[in-house]
Structure 1
Amino acid sequence: MNKAVTNSPFEDKGYFRRQYPRRAMKRKVGILCDGTYFVCDSGEVGEGGMSILSDYVLTEGHELVVSFQVPGGDFVFLRGTVRSTQKKEGDQRVTHGLSFNQIAFSTKRQIRAFVSARTQNESFNN
């Protein structure tokens, strides 16, 4: 009999499930969800998705359209799905994890180039 462990020493919020690496990206992002458009801040971005910091609480599973400028690339409009919602103590905003749906290869390539690029402030030991 295989019993699931319920007292895990950590809570998996997606950090161990990511298929693609992400990099911090501090930009404004437009969100269109259920006919409502608002602007929020981005947290991280990768080929498979991104995190956003919003004043609005979005429901997991909701589909939306995200618009943002890929650093060093195009302004893109991507369909996505809300995968996680997390409110941190002391912060008024909510952090949402989004996954992208059907992202074009050219957009994937631009995001991959941004994620893998090193800035002057980063060393090879990071």
Structure 2
Amino acid sequence: MNAHEDKGFYRRKFPRRALAKKVGVLFDGQYFICNSGEIGEGGMSILSEYALTEGRDLVLSFQIPDGTFVTLRGQIKSVVAKDGLVTHGIAFDQIPLAFKRQIRAFVSARMTSRFQS
């Protein structure tokens, strides 16, 4: 059995919520803009035309919904190419508690409204 067959491989520590925002990416000395896919306290996904190298570090700049504009370091944990678009799973590195709280509030707002319906 390879690592990807282990169901625990895809388990996340924190829930995520869809997020369609522009994200600035600094990778290997190059800066470009791409779209986000989803976000959680532990990381986010970004969608790009470019395939970045798994395991490498990068810097992301984006606006937390109803929160602060942040610049965070992260590591590329997964790279999946499909239909000309590449989805990168990013794990944040040492995110300040205040930013975690803002992201948690954004993610839980969806959860709360879903259960109140």
Query: Same fold by TM-score, threshold 0.5 exceeded?
Result: yes
In the TM superposition, structure 1's runs of 4+ consecutive aligned residues that sit over 4 Å from their partners are 10-14
Query: Is the contact between residue 13 and residue 84 of structure 1 (CA under 8 Å) also seen in structure 2?
Result: no
Which of these two proteins has the greater Rg computed from alpha carbons?
A: 1
Deviation at 1:125, TM superposition (A): 7.6
Count of aligned pairs between the two proteins? 116
User: Distance in 2 between the 1:43 and 1:13 partners?
Assistant: 22
- Amino acid of the structure 1 residue aligned with 2:21: R
Asked whether 1:109 is paired with 2:109, we answer no
What are the superposed Cα offsets for residues 44-70 of structure 1, whole Å, 9 maximum, x if unpaired? 000100000011110111100000000
DSSP 3-state at the match of 2:98: helix
Residues 1-126 of structure 1: pairs in structure 2 closer than 5 A:
5=1, 15-16=10-11, 18-88=12-82, 91-118=83-110, 123-124=114-115
Instruction: Quickly say closer, same or farther: Cα 1:95–1:19, change in 2 above 3 A.
Output: same
- Amino acid of the structure 2 residue aligned with 1:47: E
Deviation at 1:39, TM superposition (A): 0.4
User: Kindly, what percent of the aligned residue pairs are identical?
Assistant: 57
Instruction: Quickly say closer, same or farther: Cα 1:112–1:28, change in 2 above 3 A.
Output: same
Instruction: Quickly say closer, same or farther: Cα 1:72–1:45, change in 2 above 3 A.
Output: same
- Amino acid of the structure 2 residue aligned with 1:124: F
List runs of 5+ in structure 1 lacking aligned partners: none
Greater share of helix: 2
TM-score for the superposition, normalised by structure 1: 0.83
User: Distance in 1 between the 2:9 and 2:46 partners?
Assistant: 14
List runs of 5+ in structure 2 lacking aligned partners: none
Deviation at 1:93, TM superposition (A): 1.2
